[in-house]
Chains A and B, each alone.
Chain A
Amino acid sequence: MSNFQTLSANRCGAARRPKAAPYLFAAGTAAAALAVGLFGLGIGAQPIPFSEIIRVIWLPDDSVSSIILWELRLPRMIIALLAGAGLAVAGYLLQSITRNPLASPSLTGVTSGAAMFVVLAFVCLPHMITPFYYPFLALLGGTAAASITLFLSGPGLSSPLRLALAGVSVSFLAASVTTLTLLSAGPQTGTLLFWLSGGLQGRSWTQLAIMLPWVVPGLACVFVCLRPLTLLSLGDEVAQAMGANVRLWRTLLALLAICLSAGVVSVAGPIAFVGLCVPHMARMLGARTTGTAATLSLTLGALLLVSADLFARTLAAPRELPIGMITALIGGPIFLAIIYRQKA
């Protein structure tokens, strides 16, 4: 086994690959994400030429282009970038701390649990719940669902498929409770269904303000916690012997992942596959250390979601496609490839 690894690693030249490559990829994908975002700003029912975009971003005025840009497309683009980065890094965290390639916000039930709590609160306490409470509710629901999933998938670090099975069951359970709640909901059903279908349509500065305090500090925290995350990747006993309180760090990092997902889900609704696939794509691009993998996940996630959002609003214009469909279209095959590789 180890002999084989040695041989194959030599053949690919993995041993001597320069350290900078993943960071170059990260810079590249970050630039690409920004480029796609800027390009998307000009596209829509009212096309805006590039020079106009630059001009009104620099000096907003009362023109139609300026209003469209500042009220609709720019906040939506920022939300797409942040949501993609948040979901991808949350997925990366969950995969690292469970050392399970199938862990992700959607496959551990975090997103469905979060959605269920938001819908329940919205229907049961319609007058008290404003969208600013969504992230807190989502955090509660996500934590509850993740705890049940981890409990069901067995003690310690369980097999990937067992975790996926438990996660899918918890997701379905949460989804059915959500549907039941919606049945008994009154006039709010429309709003909730719109949110539940997932996507960035109509999201603007208000939604960005809801999401920002969760996603940006969350992402910053991840980069502060890279060292314990690296130790966890060496195995529990080694990490403990080197001075990391494994149980504490694992709980903290899981909560961090749930916070990130909660911030995103509260605004964009459940979006599947980003958290699952992006960390694998980062690894395929050569990210090996915790730092490079987290950075590359962040930039790739932003790129993926900003592109998916662009497709979602332009492919069938003037109608919008659900963004989850686009991410599933990209993520589904990768997911299948992971399962296929697990079997082999």
Chain B
Amino acid sequence: MTLTMLSSLPETTVFSSVTPKDNTAISLNNVTLGYNSQPVVQDLSLSLQQGKVNILIGPNGCGKSTLLRAMAGLLKPARGSAVLQGKELHSWQRRTLARALSFLPQAPEVPENMTIGQLVEQGRFAHRGLISALTGEDRDAVSWALEQTGLLEYRDRSMRTVSGGERQRAWIATALAQQASILLLDEPTTYLDLGHQLEVLELLQELSMTQGLTIALSLHEINHALMFADSLTLLAKGKLLYSGPPQELVTSGLIESVFAIQGHYLNIPGHGPLHIATGSQRRKRPSPLFRTA
């Protein structure tokens, strides 16, 4: 395997993107978001591309979670609008909204001694009456969600006893059982080891390709974002710095400046570019990897 080194580019201009309106699932228009009148995100516009994997990256506290919560209709914008199907998100009924989009918060609580099957059935809440039993349609949706996440045999396992990866897949299955066409996930790979991280991301990619789901998620690992994103969004301090295809972000050198790191890109043939961080900019330590180069 030959590795080609791309030189890391100096920090350059801020990219702005214009996405065509017709293939957007959720659009945020000049939104200001915050908690207790403290703005976290200011005057930001972003559109989720329909049927694609949209990935949000950015340093801690840049507003990724806030943005996802706004897209899930859990946070009403102080200014601007968050729109789904031409209707502002906060004016949707929770029940109807849950059939159009599902949201998985970061590290949800582990339900006390619920089995995976029972948890996934909760995802049918928005489709069921208060006391009616599961219909055939409900059961099909639950089985489909379990099958997609490879959990069919784990149905009767307790959420307490399964591994972190299986637990995370169970939550994704719960979101899938909602049968919404938009899936929002806040750092779904946190607390997972590398193998499980890739497993979750491959599952999401597959779901968007085979089922046409619109997926938006936030990530910390830059390489995973580069590998799996159809559309990559870079945020810093509540501002949108870039939104578009990952390849262009690579050549912009924005990642280095935003995360304050020194880095290089490696090109593996048949694979997208990989980013290797060689040190932080803040401490200016010489990179041990490239010292002899």
Contact = CB atoms under 8 A, between A and B. Distances in A.
A-B interaction = yes
B103 interface: yes
A234 interface: yes
B102 to A, nearest CB: 6
Decide if the interface of chain A is mainly helix, strand, loop or mixed.
helix
10 contacts: A2-B110, A2-B164, A15-B158, A234-B109, A235-B109, A241-B72, A241-B104, A242-B122, A243-B98, A244-B95
Contacts of A179: none
A5 B111 CA distance: 12
A288 B94 contact: no
Interface of A: 2, 5-6, 9-10, 14-16, 224-225, 227-228, 230-231, 233-235, 237-238, 240-245, 288-289
B74 A233 contact: no
B247 to A, nearest CB: 32
Interface stretch (B125-133, B234-242, B248-256): B125-133
A244 B131 CA distance: 15
Contacts of B110: 2, 5
B244 interface: no
A231 B125 contact: yes
A225 B157 CA distance: 26
B224 interface: no
A237 B73 CA distance: 10
A233 B111 contact: yes
A46 B147 CA distance: 67
Contacts of A288: 112-114
Contact of B123 (A228, A235, A240, A242): A242
Nearest to A238: B108
Contact of B126 (A5, A230, A233, A242): A242
B158 A14 contact: yes
Contact of A241 (B102, B111, B114, B160): B102
B125 A227 contact: yes
The interface centre, meaning the residue of A14, A16, A234 with most chain B CB atoms within 10 A of its CB, is A234
A15 B161 contact: yes
Given A240-B94, A241-B102, 14 more contacts: A2-B110, A9-B113, A14-B158, A227-B125, A234-B119, A235-B105, A237-B69, A237-B74, A237-B105, A238-B108, A241-B105, A242-B123, A243-B125, A243-B126
Contacts of B160: 5-6, 9, 14-15
Contact of B94 (A5, A14, A244, A289): A244
Contacts of A244: 94-95, 125
The interface centre, meaning the residue of B94, B111, B119 with most chain A CB atoms within 10 A of its CB, is B94
B97 interface: yes
Contact of B118 (A6, A16, A289): A289
Contacts of B108: 234-235, 237-238
A294 to B, nearest CB: 13
A234 B111 contact: yes
Given A224-B130, A241-B104, A245-B94, A231 B122 contact: yes
Interface in B178-197: 178
B155 interface: no
Contacts of B130: 224-225, 227-228
